A and B are shown apart, each in its own frame.
Chain A
Amino acid sequence: AQSVTQPDARVTVSEGASLQLRCKYSYSGTPYLFWYVQYPRQGLQLLLKYYSGDPVVQGVNGFEAEFSKSNSSFHLRKASVHWSDSAVYFCVLSATGNTGKLIFGLGTTLQVQP
């Protein structure tokens, strides 16, 4: 079965600190993987996506993620967080190539403290 696990429901970091949000997926083939961010009272916005090639993908606002097939992971990183990064972050898997079959993780709420 295909699934996405975000093991941390909530992460709190200080402004200027580095960040890693974890994502593990379950799928036997080559996945399409995404990170979306949801700011308060807004819809989701794409941060970055991976579907082939370099396992480290760059996204908007200084975010990057690294795909690891051996670890079935797609962790999100940022070198220095800003208070405006406070939001909910979703890891998303597309296993079949059908956008109607996206699998969302439960999300990680990031709180950046000043």
Chain B
Amino acid sequence: GGIITQTPKFLIGQEGQKLTLKCQQNFNHDTMYWYRQDSGKGLRLIYYSITENDLQKGDLSEGYDASREKKSSFSLTVTSAQKNEMAVFLCASSILGGAGAETLYFGSGTRLTVL
């Protein structure tokens, strides 16, 4: 089986700071995703990528940049951290990204706190 590794597990930043979250997968999946999970709001898609160097915006892309330089890695940058922001960022992958019944495989998350 494969695994999705997210680093760091915990991230503490200052207001206005640029912060980068990293995700690695060894499933050899084509598609990777970044979701934001807020308490009481479920999961919201920030960016996804269907192949190396591809980027697709999700519903929550404003305030974020993403990069997929290799098939196995997908990074997310918070361009300017918002004061008192707290959320969990989940990375996921799937085999293709185009079929509706695909399973998503998730990492364990990066917990962001902005002071």
Contact = CB atoms under 8 A, between A and B. Distances in A.
A63 to B, nearest CB: 15
Contacts of B48: 99-100
A114 interface: no
B103 interface: yes
Interface magnitude class on chain B: 20 to 34
B98 A105 contact: no
Interface stretch (B14-22, B39-47, B62-70): B39-47
Given A42-B108, A44-B106, A51 B43 contact: no
A43 B100 contact: no
A46 interface: yes
Interface residues of A, number: 22
Contacts, number: 65
Given A43-B90, A43-B109, A44-B90, A99 B104 contact: yes
Contacts of A105: 42
B98 A90 contact: no
Interface string B75-111: 0000000000000001010101111111110111100
Nearest to B103: A46
Interface in A93-114: 94, 96-100, 102, 104-107
Given A32-B101, A100-B56, A43 B42 contact: no
- 10 smallest beta-carbon distances between A and B, as pairs: A43-B106, A97-B100, A32-B100, A51-B101, A104-B43, A104-B42, A94-B100, A106-B42, A44-B106, A32-B101
18 contacts: A41-B108, A41-B109, A42-B109, A43-B90, A43-B107, A44-B43, A44-B106, A46-B104, A51-B100, A90-B42, A96-B100, A98-B97, A99-B97, A99-B102, A100-B58, A104-B42, A105-B42, A106-B40
